Amino acid sequence: MTRKIFTNTRERWRQQNVNSAFARLRKLIPTHPPDKKLSKNETLRLAMKYINFLVKVLGEQGLQQTGGGASGNLLELLPQAPHLPGPEGRSLPDGGAAPSPCPGYHAS
Report the CATH number at residue 46. Answer: 4.10.280
pLDDT tens-digit series, residues 42-91: 999 999 999 999 999 998 888 788 776 544 454 555 555 445 444 444 44
Enclosing domain of residue 11: 2-77
Q: What is this structure's pTM?
A: 0.55
Radius of gyration, CA atoms only, the chain: 19
Three-state SS at 13: helix
Determine, yes or no, domain membership for 107.
Answer: no
Determine, yes or no, domain membership for 95.
Answer: no
DSSP at 91: -
Of 72 and 15, the one with more pLDDT: 15
Determine, yes or no, domain membership for 98.
Answer: no
Q: Where are the beta strands (DSSP E) in the chain?
A: none
Determine, yes or no, domain membership for 108.
Answer: no
